[in-house]
Amino acid sequence: MSETVLELRNVTRAFELSQGAFRRAAKLTAVADVSLKVGRGEVFALVGESGSGKTTLAKMLLGLLPPTSGEILVDGMPISPKDRVAVSRRVQPIFQDPYSSLNPRKSVAQLIALPLIVHGVGDRTTRRAQVLAMLDRVGLSPRHYDAYPGQLSGGQRQRVAIARALILKPEVVICDEPTSALDVSVQAQILNLLLELKRELGLTYFFISHNLAVVEHLADRVAVMYLGRFVEERTRAGLFASPRHPYTRVLLESVLTPDPDLGVPDTRIGTAAGMPASELGCPFEPRCPSAAEVCRTTVPMVRTLPDGWTTCHLIEEEAAIVP
Ligand code: SF4
């Protein structure tokens, strides 16, 4: 892997759930002890069902939510929610819905220039030149400079959101389901644009998606998240060719049967909603089609694989390939 640009060290985020005046608050662990390293120029994808903790993790990466414990570093320096402005210089988001993420009362020029103004970059003349150059880079024309979001199509709005995210040349871009609100015909254009911009500008993407076809198209490495925990982390090629964790296998089998209303894979084991993780053993045990007795009582250890790792009692350790 190239030089590490994003690192998470044992990051956990828990929430207290109020249960009324006379009962002690319950604790929900949305993200549990997650560690990872993302190399510069890499596309690291995170997949999992709704409620798996992907959005909570994204909020922590953007400095919108502090971890309960653990540390998040960009270029070796911790990011702190206490300094949102500094975080936004280094980490920028592209959200799912370009209809709600752009202020309809601001022009395209104002929307794209805002990060430059907040960070005191350039003057009016240089900012105009930067915005025009960025419009060109994302496939919009100078005539869009004074347009308003309401005058643009969904794909054009997402191009504006991408331009705004990239204008500060961030170290890491968090792409949170960036195409799922768009027409299918536009999705491929936006994905190809993201890949082109990554190559041109040397960007690093942390890509969150429930859409495994999208992940297969553009990820270098993939982590699979289940109830707040990573259960498998592999190269894209390895994961799609031979998924090892039973949950990953179920997710991949479900690719052809997405539930259009829920926007989550229609897995043959139901959804995780309302399904508690096993307290003592493997978190996936209550839903796992391959569960054995040991799975109920013992948390599985990490098993090293030639191209990553997984956590399952039924999988033998395989020697990692030393380059
Ligand atoms: Fe299934 Fe057991 Fe593996 Fe967990 S450890 S994924 S329950 S087989």
For 6-49, how does the pLDDT look when each residue is reduced to its tens digit (9 = 90+)? Answer: 999 999 999 987 766 666 667 889 999 999 999 999 999 999 98
- 93: which 2 tokens? 């988001």
Question: Cα of 162 to ligand 1 centre, how many Å?
Answer: 40
Which atom number of ligand 1 is nearest to the Cα of residue 247?
A: 6
Average predicted confidence (pLDDT) for the chain = 88
> 127-136, 296-305, 309-318: which range is least confident on average?
309-318
Helix, strand, coil percentages, rounded to 5, for the chain: 35, 25, 40
pLDDT score of 272 more than 60: no
Which atom number of ligand 1 is nearest to the Cα of residue 295?
A: 2
Question: Cα of 68 to ligand 1 centre, how many Å?
Answer: 27
Nearest Cα residue to 35 out of 309, 312, 278: 309
> 63-72, 84-93, 167-176: which range is least confident on average?
84-93
Question: Cα of 314 to ligand 1 centre, how many Å?
Answer: 7
Nearest Cα residue to 52 out of 181, 224, 175: 224
- 294: which 2 tokens? 């040991």
Cβ-Cβ contacts under 8 Å for 185 (sequence gap 6 or more): none
Ligand 1: lining residues by beta carbon, under 6 Å:
245-246, 282, 284-285, 288, 290-292, 295, 300, 312-314
Residue corresponding to tokens 């998924």: 243
pLDDT score of 132 more than 60: yes
C-alpha 241 chain-centroid distance: 22
Q: Whose CA is nearest to atom 5 of ligand 1?
A: 312
Model-level pTM? 0.89
For 309-321, how does the pLDDT look when each residue is reduced to its tens digit (9 = 90+)? Answer: 999 999 986 666 5
pLDDT score of 260 more than 50: no
Q: Name the residue of 248, 279, 282 to mutate for ligand 1: max ligand atoms within 8 A of Cβ.
A: 282
Q: Which band of pLDDT confidence, cut at 50, 70 and 90, is reported for residue 267?
A: low
Nearest Cα residue to 131 out of 154, 98, 106, 104: 106
Question: Cα of 294 to ligand 1 centre, how many Å?
Answer: 9
Q: Averaged over 256-270, what is the pLDDT?
A: 50
